[in-house]
Structure 1
């Protein structure tokens, strides 16, 4: 008897525990019974965070995240108004606002299904906005306007999923790899051509500066040589004048000094041999008995 009571008590405890529904903070729950969602006067019953009672083994619980979600998918290709391809990487902030509609439209509240459907809608909205703009408009300042327009459109298109789109952001815009490569090659060729042009202009300017410098140096050297010749000529003229003045004052003394210089230059080296007549004019001062 005691054993039966224990079994019955255990069963009752198990039933009691299984009838308790705990909804955590940041979640909400939908209960379906016999395949139908529980409703109160036609409105889906949404279980808020806290403790609730359910029928064990009969009620099926689906917990739904009520917090803001971030959907960050892979980059997708979009076409601008000039028919140019762009690779756009974006993300979306969203949350559930109509839990019944969300539950029914996503196959029982499956998040992966919800994000797949939402991604298609967001891409379609972004594709529309990119198709209205040129690359210059997208890159040079209208991105905020593009994101705002995409947000408005996404909010409308996602409403039938029971989803509220909080924000749509474009993280990065790139050209496709093959287009980027061709553009890079073209830009490199253009920069190379500009560099060659600048280098040629630099060489031309260098030659001009070098030619001007060489001409200036040549002119300066010529002026210096001319001035040196003028100074030398003036010196020679003054020297000749001094000699002429000295000679005119005492011609005999000047002739005597010149003879002494000639004797010094001739007899300085003892190895010199001179063949002259004794009565030569060269020895006229050495042969004078008066010492004149």
Structure 2
């Protein structure tokens, strides 16, 4: 009897342990029994909150999933605007599981698979929206409206049949919206959608930069030409002012020199009339000094001329 008691205890403990499972904080679990998710009396999936729970050992299988908000940081994708120009949009989506049973049936509980499907839905919705806008509208006031249309869908009442058909071809869920489509197909709730960055392809960026450089160079050339014109005007005005000042100064100098010469002549005349003999003697001495100052000079003059009269006679007679 004692020999059977120990194995029985071990079996009971093993059965008890296999019937228990724990759900961690931030997780939710459901039980699969005979290949189907366990449901309650209202035919709803039984969802287990964090804590200790029990199941049928060796029959039930527990599936545990992360119930927290997930981030799908989408890779940048290329879209075509209504102008037939390419733009590269980098976005991200915040989402969480709303219906765990539907999520499991749609993806097998594979989060990577869920994000791939969600990425396709997002890309289709953005493509349908971007295809009807210009680049200016995308990067300015229409961007928030684009995100809202992607999340909540488009109201078809204001569209023509042709526009509706085009929208549906680009995205079958265009009128449903990403939120409703993701909830219906994957059992997940899209919490938020944001665009991180909107870029142009490298070749378009280069052409834009070239055009911007050409525009800046044109503006710079205009400013340089304007500056050169102003500089020439300032230089011309300064030259005119200098010429005017110089002319006035030369005129004043000539007037002063003329007045000085007249005063000097008057003084000389007065001095000459006071003593004629002395003045003639002084002028002769000055002439001798100027003539004989350079020893290399040679004068050929008649000795009887008046030039030498004061050399012959101190009285000059």
Q: CA deviation at 1:208?
A: 4.7
Deviation for aligned residue 1:113: 1.6
Give the C-alpha shift of residue 182 in structure 1.
2.5
- Structure 2 match to 1:105: 106
1:92 offset after TM fit, Å?
A: 0.5
Answer yes or no: is the 8 Å Cα contact 1:80–1:130 preserved in 2: yes
Deviation at 1:239, TM superposition (A): 0.9
Q: What is aligned with 1:20?
A: 20
**1:236 equivalenced with 2:236 (yes/no):** no
Cα offsets for 1:106-129 (capped at 9, x unmatched) = 2x2221121111112222222233
Query: Which shows bigger deviation, 70-79 or 227-236?
Result: 227-236
- Residues 193-226 of structure 1 show CA distances to partners (whole Å, capped at 9, x for unaligned) of 4444544554455455445544544444344333
Q: CA deviation at 1:9?
A: 1.9
CA contact (8 A) 1:256 1:285 kept: no
1:178 matched to 2:179? The reply is: no
Shift of 1:94: 0.8
CA distance in 1, matches of 2:147, 2:61: 40
Change (3 A) 1:241 1:167: same
Q: Which aligned pairs between 1:86-165 and structure 2 lie closer than 5 A?
A: 86-106=87-107, 108-152=108-152, 153-160=177-184, 161-165=186-190
Structure-1 separation of matches of 2:297 and 2:34: 149
Mean Cα deviation higher: 163-172 or 208-217: 208-217
Q: Distance in 1 between matches of 2:11 and 2:24?
A: 26
Match in the other structure for 1:224: 249
Give distance in 2, aligned partners of 1:132 and 1:40: 47
Q: Show the counterpart of 1:49.
A: 50
**How far off its partner does 1:29 sit?**
0.7
Q: Is the 8 A contact 2:284 2:307 kept in 1?
A: no
1:43 partner SS: coil
C-alpha spacing 1:280/1:177, structure 2 compared with 1 (3 Å): closer
* CA pair 172-6 structure 1, distance change in 2 beyond 3 A: same
Note the C-alpha offset of 1:89: 0.3
Q: Which residue of 2 aligns with 1:84?
A: 85
Q: 1:104 to 1:230 in 2, by over 3 A?
A: same
Secondary structure of the corresponding residue to residue 141 of structure 2: coil
Structure 1 residue 190: Cα displacement: 3.6
Shift in CA distance, 74/232, structure 1 to aligned 2, threshold 3 Å? same
TM-score of the two chains, using structure 2 as the length reference: 0.78
* SS of aligned partner of 2:82: coil
Aligned Cα root-mean-square deviation (Å): 3.0
Which piece of structure 1 moves more, 274-283 or 169-178?
274-283
Residue aligning to 2:160: none
User: Who is 2:60 aligned against?
Assistant: 59
* Number of positions where the alignment pairs a residue of Structure 1 with one of Structure 2: 290
Match of 2:163 in 1: none
Task: Tell me how far apart the structure 2 counterparts of residues 170 and 279 of structure 1 sit (CA, whole Å).
Answer: 117
Contact 1:79 1:127 in 2 (8 A): yes
Return 5+ residue gaps in structure 2 as ranges.
153-176
Q: How many Å apart are 1:4 and its aligned residue?
A: 4.0
Q: Is 1:71–1:115's contact at 8 Å kept on the other side of the alignment? A: yes
Alignment of 1:277-292 (within 5 A): 277=303, 282-284=308-310, 287=313
Q: Does 1:191 align with 2:216?
A: yes
The Cα of 1:80 is off from its aligned counterpart by 2.1
